[in-house]
A and B are shown apart, each in its own frame.
Chain A
């Protein structure tokens, strides 16, 4: 597609439920990132995929969070047993490769509200 697409744009869920957030990266981009942004805060790194390499999961805050990337394209971020502190905007980005000089393009984000 023309840009990084995320769905849904907004998600309201009850505490304790599981949610899945989807990211469609730019076609041909081998690197994909997930970030979390709380209100008025910076971007918190969650996970990074690069080609067929093992993902960098060092930013996932707990084992309730997981992500996968199927076929090197679409990615799904799953949050199990959601908590109120999980409420945030979840941003996905992709880039052509992981080297320096390759900018990351961001989607519009999914705003998750846990009530």
Chain B
């Protein structure tokens, strides 16, 4: 079936380094993608989104890259801080169920001071 998955389940970085979290998706009809951050005991929090007619979008310290050719999404976090430690999920919307968000399994990011 259609799914969204992540290459790396865990990622450990040093404070100040740049982090890259990857996501592969299989639904070529998806037209909207979102990255969420989830801290322990909390619901997912929106970080950044991108539509399928774009290949890059920048926010504050975060950049999302979309490669539709290979169905790959990545989240780049610049100058990673301890407060960035969390689980990061990519999600996609579109295809046969227009409104449904499908989530990947998640990547645990740990930032060491």
Contact = CB atoms under 8 A, between A and B. Distances in A.
Interface stretch (A12-20, A74-82, A102-110): A102-110
Interface string B32-53: 1010100001111110010110
A107 B43 contact: yes
B31 interface: yes
Given A100-B31, A101-B32, A106-B45, A42 B98 contact: no
Interface in B66-97: 89, 91, 93-94, 97
A35 interface: yes
Contact of B100 (A42, A56, A109): A56
Interface in A63-115: 91, 93, 98-101, 103-109
A98 B94 CA distance: 10
Interface size class of A (residues with CB under 8 A): 20 to 34
Chain B binding surface SS class? strand
Contacts of A91: 43-44
10 contacts: A33-B100, A41-B106, A48-B99, A50-B99, A98-B99, A101-B51, A103-B34, A103-B49, A104-B101, A106-B36
Given A93-B101, A101-B51, A109-B42, 18 more contacts: A33-B100, A33-B101, A42-B103, A43-B89, A43-B91, A45-B100, A48-B97, A48-B100, A56-B97, A58-B97, A91-B43, A93-B44, A98-B99, A100-B32, A106-B44, A108-B42, A108-B43, A109-B43
